[in-house]
């Protein structure tokens, strides 16, 4: 378990983020309880996968589903991050697949290289902006009618995404998704 603070200035306002890197995959017993606790706390979630490891991408997608189930009544910012862009020759997950997953699961998307610090500052600034946008926009969402709040079910979106993922070998355009703005971390 790693914890650190990162202080940054976003839109002229200084902010300190407390970052907890506590997720450990495939644990039993105590680790499983900690995983459940991780899903219940936090003002934002950054789900990271390696672009060089399709298994980590699939695990990230599954974690996204678990997270939304655990906090379905809340509008928590979730950012899907494809890391290790410096290893582009070993890429197993395309940018299009990452964007499609983010669009289907209604979260933001960015690719980074922690080694080269590429898009890392943008990621943290995006986390801060997403938290601010969602906190500031709560009042406007309370006035919507139930019909306006209706979204396609998570299960249906996941199934649709997986159908397109499986179909990727049969047609080049299978994963092209029109996204609201999954790549723009400064808007909802």
Q: What is the pLDDT of residue 161?
A: 60
User: Which residues span the domain enclosing 91?
Assistant: 43-137+154-175
Better-predicted residue by pLDDT, 131 or 166: 131
Asked whether residue 98 is domain-assigned, the answer is yes
What is the token pair recorded at 82?
């494809």
Quick one: pLDDT band at residue 3, thresholds 50, 70, 90? confident
Q: What is the pLDDT of residue 129?
A: 94
Q: Is residue 80 part of a domain?
A: yes
Average pLDDT score over the chain? 78
State if pTM tops 0.75.
no
Q: Is 102 inside a domain boundary?
A: yes
Check whether 14 has a pLDDT greater than 90.
yes
* pLDDT score for 172: 47
Q: Which residue has the higher pLDDT, 159 or 14?
A: 14
* Tally of domains within the chain: 1
pLDDT in tens, 125-137: 999 999 999 888 5
Residue 143 covered by a domain: no
Whether 27 maps to a domain, the answer reads no
Residue 61, in any domain of the structure: yes
Predicted confidence at residue 69, as pLDDT, reads: 85
Considering the domain boundaries, does residue 167 fall inside one?
A: yes
Res 128: pLDDT: 95
Say if 170 falls within a structural domain: yes
pLDDT tens, 63-110? 888 888 888 778 889 999 999 999 999 999 999 999 999 998 889 999
The domain that holds 160 is classified in CATH as 3.40.50.300
Is the pLDDT at 12 greater than 90? The verdict is yes
């Amino acid at each position: 378990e790693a914890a650190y603070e990162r202080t940054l200035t976003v839109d002229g306002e200084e902010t300190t983020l407390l970052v907890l890197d506590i997720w450990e995959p495939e644990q039993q017993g105590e680790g499983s309880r900690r995983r459940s606790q991780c899903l219940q706390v936090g003002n934002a979630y950054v789900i990271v996968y390696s672009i060089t490891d399709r298994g980590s991408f699939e695990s990230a997608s599954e974690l996204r589903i678990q997270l939304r189930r655990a906090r379905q009544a809340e509008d928590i910012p979730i950012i899907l991050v494809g890391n290790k862009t410096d290893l582009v020759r070993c890429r197993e997950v395309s940018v299009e697949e990452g964007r499609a997953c983010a669009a289907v699961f209604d979260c933001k998307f960015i690719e980074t290289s922690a080694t080269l610090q590429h898009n890392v500052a943008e990621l943290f600034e995006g986390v801060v902006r997403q938290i601010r946008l969602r906190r500031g926009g709560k009042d406007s969402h309370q006035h919507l009618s139930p019909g306006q709040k209706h979204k396609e079910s998570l299960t249906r979106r996941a199934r649709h995404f997986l159908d397109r993922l499986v179909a990727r070998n049969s047609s080049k355009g299978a994963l092209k998704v029109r996204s609201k703005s999954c790549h723009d971390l400064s808007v909802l």
